[in-house]
Structure 1
């Protein structure tokens, strides 16, 4: 092959990778966020299961799952404090 064809082919492959790789990053971010929200719902499920004997119950919905999934254990603790003292 001529060097011009090789350079053109490599340049085209680089452009293809750049164009295909760019839309995948927002999808990856959305996927990670969705997984964290599902883990947050699991946190709340276990909190409700084990906290039932102590009178702790936090409803499981999208907002509480997002808070507990994104913030983790401090988010779950904040939801418990809000549920017990403010509501």
Structure 2
């Protein structure tokens, strides 16, 4: 797409957002998802730090952060199980 079209659409979106006002329900939902993703990334980082003792590393990417953030501790356990039991084959 042309940069002028993209800038125009962004400008229209910002103007509509300012005129109509933010939806608090949408902002709460987005904020909650963002906080969960950050907590998931921190959990994976800590897993890699403490897993370094056992020479275990789980990659931190969008998929693993999403699974660990949205599913919580069971999601992290599932990622570890998949990494240990399914991926080596």
Same fold (TM over 0.5): yes
Q: How many residues align?
A: 68
Question: Which ranges of structure 1 fall in alignment gaps of 5 or more residues?
Answer: 1-18
TM-score (norm 1): 0.70
1:53 corresponds in structure 2 to 53
1:13 corresponds in structure 2 to none
- Measured in 2, the distance between the counterparts of 1:72 and 1:54 equals 22
Please tell me whether Structure 1 or Structure 2 has the larger radius of gyration of its CA atoms. 1
Deviations 1:15-53 (A, max 9, x none): xxxx868x1101110110011000000000000000112
Whose helix fraction is larger, Structure 1's or Structure 2's? 1
After the TM superposition, which segments of 4 or more aligned residues of structure 1 sit over 4 Å from their partners?
A: none
- Measured in 2, the distance between the counterparts of 1:81 and 1:55 equals 16
1:38-77 aligned within 5 A: 38-77=38-77
RMSD between superposed Cα atoms in Å: 1.6
TM-score (norm 2): 0.69
Question: Which ranges of structure 2 fall in alignment gaps of 5 or more residues?
Answer: 1-19
